[in-house]
Amino acid sequence: MLKKFKNYFLNNKWINKKFIIAVSGGLDSIILLNIFIKIFKRNIIVCNCNFNLSKDRKHNILVFNICYKNNLKLYFKDFNTLKYIKNKKYSIQMGARELRYKWFYKILKKNKYDYIVTGHHINDDIETFFINLLKGNSLFGLKGIKSINNKILRPYLILKINKEYIYKYAIKNNIRWIEDKSNIKNYYFRNNIRNNLIPYIKNVYNKYYNNIYNTLYKLKIESNILNNYIKYIYKNILKTKYILNIKYICIYFYKILKIKNYDYIIYRNLIKYGFCNFNYFININNKRKGYIIYSNSNKYKIIKDNKKLILFKNKKNKINFLIKKSTIININKNNKIIFKFVKNKNIIFNNKYIYLNLDLIILPIYIKNWRKGYKYSYKNKIIKINKIFKKLKISRFYKDKILFLVDSNNIILSSLNMIYIYNNNYIVNNNTKNILYYNFLFNLK
């Protein structure tokens, strides 16, 4: 096995790379560390953690001793796993995985290393296939584990090495490891697959291993082809935009309505934002305007707006600036509004500004974004702003981004961006003594 590693890793692609080796103390990671010490000793650091699910620390001690003996830099972390999974409502395995990988990436960034190396092998890949099959998954789930995924490197999968091969190497080279006692506990779904389902299949069908491995190999190729096709389509229907310095994504799905199962293509590309329920996207073209979809974590939100979807972070961006006197309000780093309170004496009017009769306005005034119940006056009639929104076909997403100048009673004096609204009850005339004027931002991006 060492020869396999050397033949692959001792080339120009890997020779100057730096690796973080994730070592639990179990067979797979100990052998991985043993081999990387022989090939890349100067370019590795080790990460070891304790999830505090038992009082046994033998696996930690073993890793400490190996690092001390080989003069390797070691990062160690104690996790309060039970508290974490209780707060997150995760399973133990899911919580432990999230904890360690967040930690791994912090160390990777801190040390400016290239890869996090883990000990996943072909048996893990096959187990993952069955887990996803039984849970009900698509081609993308059934393809199993990626050998290289962003900054995560899995050498055993690259070199097509299974558990039995790793075990034989350990015995032949008299290498000690600590067996994880939790591996025999079948209340973990993966352990049930490993300890019961796979041995049963192996017993009744002795060619299962090669056949499933070949199936996985084909699924990986086919999923890559399909994934590239979906990404190609998505690039043609997606556009990143900004409003009030807030980033959002427009998905013009009407461009692909003729493609069969277009809704699945949209769903597949939005999984990375946490939208994991395909049912929300079925026949999205027939959903009403204003239809809202939340990501599983509520971090992102999608609003349907006619023939497009608008994707953005699900957080409230309430704006509430108090204005009592002449001042400059910075809406964001690129836009500001200059307010001037002046006497109506020889003032030169300029079309770059909006002018209001300050004598009629009850101070203070505010800059706010849209709220329910806002009204304004037009030709001596009180009009609800929602009627204007409906007439102009303005979606909920854009409503929240429109800025208004309002008085203390939330009566709109004027709009400040995107649409033009002016309350004609506050028109400046010859009898006006005090004037409020300010610049406008109707094309604010």
Tens-digit pLDDT profile for residues 298-331: 899 999 988 899 999 887 778 889 998 899 988 7
Q: Report the CATH number at residue 100.
A: 3.40.50.620
Statement to judge: residues 189 and 252 lie in one domain = no
Decide if 222 is inside a domain. no
- CB neighbourhood size of 239 (10 A): 12
- Domain membership flag for residue 219: no
**Are 111 and 160 found together in one domain?**
yes
**Residue 62 is assigned to a structural domain of this protein:** yes
What 8-state DSSP symbol labels residue 194? I
Same-domain status, 38 and 149: yes
Residue 228 placed within a domain: no
In a domain, 14, yes or no: yes
Checking DSSP bridges between strand 335-343 and strand 434-439, what pairing results, if any?
antiparallel
Indicate if 369 and 298 belong to the same structural domain.
no
Is 388 in the same domain as 287? no
**283 and 334 co-located in one domain:** no
Q: Collapsing DSSP states into helix, strand and coil, what is residue 332?
A: strand
Q: Are 126 and 142 in contact (CB under 8 A)?
A: no
- The answer on 329 and 270 residing in a single domain is no
Do 55 and 61 touch, CB atoms closer than 8 A? Answer: no
Query: What is the model's pLDDT at position 23?
Result: 96
328 and 308 in one domain? no
pLDDT of residue 442: 55
> What is the tally of structural domains in the chain?
3
pLDDT at 213: 85
Choose one of 313, 328, 344: the last residue of a domain.
313
Whether 171 and 44 share a structural domain: yes
Its pTM stands at 0.68
| Residue from 366, 367, 344 nearest 355 by CA | 344
Query: CA 383, 387, 389: angle at the middle one, nearest 5?
Result: 120
Confirm whether 20 is domain-assigned.
Answer: yes
Q: What is the mean pLDDT of each run of 10 residues along the chain (445 residues)?
A: 90 88 95 95 94 88 95 95 89 90 95 95 92 85 88 95 94 92 76 88 82 88 88 89 81 91 90 90 90 90 90 83 90 82 84 89 89 77 82 80 87 85 86 89 52
Q: How far apart are CA 107 and CA 254, in angstroms?
A: 44
Are residues 288 and 334 part of one domain?
A: no
Tens-place pLDDT, residues 206-260: 778 788 888 888 998 988 898 888 888 888 899 998 876 678 899 999 999 999 8
Query: Rounded CA gap, 440 and 444, in Å?
Result: 9
Of 211, 236, 254, the domain-final residue:
211
- Shared-domain flag, residues 159 and 83: yes
Do 29 and 164 lie in one domain? The reply is: yes
Domain boundary residue, one of 166, 196, 211: 211
Say if 46 falls within a structural domain. yes
The residue range of the domain holding 254 is: 244-313
| pLDDT at residue number 444 | 43
Is residue 29 assigned to a domain?
yes
Q: How far apart are CA 363 and CA 266, in angstroms?
A: 49
Look at residue 212 in the predicted model and tell me its pLDDT.
86
Q: Coil, strand, or helix at residue 388?
A: helix
Q: What pLDDT score does 51 carry?
A: 92
